[in-house]
A = this chain, B = another copy of it.
């Protein structure tokens, strides 16, 4: 399978360098007769952009153009090709960085491909995630038909619980911003009303596919299924949650994703103090893609 594809029966393949002409992708396997709400897709893409003072001032328009697979906003069952132009390209921001930026992927891309693009980090960029959001928003619309809902929230910034200590967390953000530094944190996500039976035994467990999808997000460093702290409790206290043997049981599925701070602080390149505000929609999108794929894999005559 191509390395830039995720999913088997509801599959997203993406393309695009962060500072090239455009990014985009193909959604293959979306069922026909689904109404695609374009305003919803735009609002999801909007969520991925800067929302507050702790993100960089991007003027990306992120206007998605659909080439195929739709007629009058109804899916045809055929592959959905789409593209988002990169309007706010400023490669000059990157060209005067004489050494590889700390922690960035330029070094490994050079080692892997033997070529160093003039522009920035190639595929290893937050820009690439816009294509994930387009795929994820179509997946969400598909899942809505079954009343499956997915919601992600910021759980912690740095070491501070954001839900319970929001003011303290914002003081931390201000301090980090003034220091020209960056900070990571944790996002928690919940999949609700998922039918039982999703996930495949052994390697393609629902939990395992969620882990791959989440850790594939730029800067994601950790993944945890269930309510956290589960490794410290005893068996008698351990709760079931929505998965047993990696397969959904009909209850809510909760997982969390930890993000490291953006690595290229203090560069002329524009980077976030804290990317978590932008990342909730990406986490939801990846969860929606995994869930949609498993819905299609499960409902295919799993039993007769």
Q: Footprint of B on A, CB under 8 Å?
A: 1-9, 11, 13-17, 20-26, 28-29, 31-34, 66-69, 71, 74, 76-81, 83, 102-105, 107-109, 111-115, 117-119, 121-124, 128, 142, 145, 156, 158-159, 176, 179, 181-186, 196-197, 199-205, 207-216, 218, 221-226, 230-236, 238, 240, 243-250, 258-266, 295-304
Inter-subunit contact B263/A235 (CB<8 Å)? yes
Known interface pairs A13-B26, A68-B23. Does A108 touch B234 (Cβ–Cβ under 8 Å)?
no
Inter-subunit contact B6/A1 (CB<8 Å)? no
Interface majority SS (helix, strand, loop, mixed), chain A:
loop
Residues of chain B within 8 A (CB-CB) of A142 are: 304
**Top 8 A-B pairs, shortest CB-CB distance:** A105-B245, A300-B300, A124-B245, A2-B28, A15-B81, A3-B200, A182-B235, A235-B261
Residues of chain B within 8 A (CB-CB) of A234 are: 158, 176, 179, 181-183, 261
Inter-subunit contact B232/A304 (CB<8 Å)? no
Listed A/B pairs (14) with beta-carbon separation below 8 Å: A3-B204, A17-B68, A31-B303, A108-B249, A112-B196, A156-B231, A176-B234, A184-B232, A208-B211, A208-B212, A208-B216, A210-B215, A231-B258, A296-B301
Inter-subunit contact A203/B4 (CB<8 Å)? yes
Q: State A216–B247 Cα separation when bound (angstroms).
A: 11
Q: State A285–B97 Cα separation when bound (angstroms).
A: 41
A206 to chain B, nearest CB (A): 10
Residues of chain B within 8 A (CB-CB) of A107 are: 196, 244, 249
Residues of chain B within 8 A (CB-CB) of A81 are: 15-16, 22-25, 83
Inter-subunit contact B67/A115 (CB<8 Å)? no
Residues of chain B within 8 A (CB-CB) of A236 are: 179, 181-182, 265-266
Q: State A303–B209 Cα separation when bound (angstroms).
A: 24
Q: State A197–B196 Cα separation when bound (angstroms).
A: 28
Q: State A40–B75 Cα separation when bound (angstroms).
A: 35
Q: State A297–B296 Cα separation when bound (angstroms).
A: 9
Q: State A78–B131 Cα separation when bound (angstroms).
A: 15
Q: State A181–B80 Cα separation when bound (angstroms).
A: 35
Q: State A222–B222 Cα separation when bound (angstroms).
A: 7
Inter-subunit contact B249/A111 (CB<8 Å)? yes
Q: State A112–B108 Cα separation when bound (angstroms).
A: 31
- Within the complex, which residue of B11, B112, B208, B297 is in contact with A302, where a contact is CB–CB below 8 Å? B112
A53 to chain B, nearest CB (A): 17
Closest to A85 in B: B67
Known interface pairs A4-B201, A102-B240, A261-B238. Does A109 touch B245 (Cβ–Cβ under 8 Å)?
yes
Inter-subunit contact A203/B223 (CB<8 Å)? no
Inter-subunit contact A71/B207 (CB<8 Å)? no
- Within the complex, which residue of B26, B232, B249, B258 is in contact with A158, where a contact is CB–CB below 8 Å? B232
A140 to chain B, nearest CB (A): 14
Residues of chain B within 8 A (CB-CB) of A79 are: 2, 4, 13-16
